Amino acid sequence: MLNQKKTLDTIKQYKSNQQISMLTCYDYVFAQLMDEADIDCLLVGDSVGTNVLGYASEQEVTLADMLHHTKAVARGVQTSFIISDLPYQTYETPEQALQSAQLLIEAGADAVKFEGFYPDIVRLLTAHNIQVVCHLGLLPQTALKKSVQAVDKASIQQLYRHACDLEYAGASMLIVELIPEEVAKEVTNRLSIPVIGIGAGRFCDGQVQIVYDVLGLTKRQFKHVNRFFAFRERLAEVFVAYKKRVQQQTYLDITHSFHVDGV
């Protein structure tokens, strides 16, 4: 029997029962691999800008970029739940957010995510049957400095209020980024919707990471990332070996070539 496509109801049932797995995904091949591994959620994040497209920041990512990569990921997925980011300045008003979100849903996203406290956007999108994932804590699109958030009483209480208000407005899931794990644990306990952490410690309902960080493809190793491999170093060795064997004319042998008799 084939596995069924995961829905938000499926993901919500995991809260308090099993941890939710989420990874960023930007292309067809990785989407296939993650889907086959039964990763619960694939996040087509605007982190594609700095990790794939060579942009200086997430602010350079366009809606066209997100549509392109969402379509690629959707082609590789059978069961995983796909979440796509609304990029910078594509949700300046609820109406603009709706137009942007509808395009991402048409491209293959199951839900859309945006950063910050905008309950009006949540209400409008959900009124049009678009499932919404919210994002609090560090907001990469607008952060001047990527440092730990919610570290004093006022900012912690504000985070709690914003999280509860977004759930009340209709948010289906919340991502919290770069906050103390004690704060993340309390947010997770207060909400009935799944809370997914990145750099938010051990006690959320699930974890999301940049896939290239987990694989060790990025140069920098972050405190909140537990790398499985050092693929960057290994791939560098492969490329050097490839060049050497091509230069020495040892890369191919007779079994890797096509042949015809009588020539």
Write out the catalytic residue numbers.
177
CA distance 184 to 110: 25
> Is-contact 107 64, C-beta < 8 A?
no
> Is-contact 213 191, C-beta < 8 A?
no
> Is-contact 99 23, C-beta < 8 A?
no
> Is-contact 180 157, C-beta < 8 A?
no
Long-range contacts of 193-200 (CB under 8 A, 24+ apart): 193/12, 193/15, 193/167, 194/11, 194/12, 194/14, 194/15, 194/20, 195/163, 196/20, 196/22, 196/41, 198/224, 199/138, 199/148, 199/223, 199/224, 200/137, 200/176, 200/224
59's CB contacts (< 8 A; 6+ apart) are 88, 89, 141
> Is-contact 113 175, C-beta < 8 A?
yes
**Which residue from 50, 79, 78 is spatially nearest to 65, judged by alpha carbons?**
50
> Is-contact 193 201, C-beta < 8 A?
no
CA distance 119 to 106: 23
DSSP summary character for residue 262: T
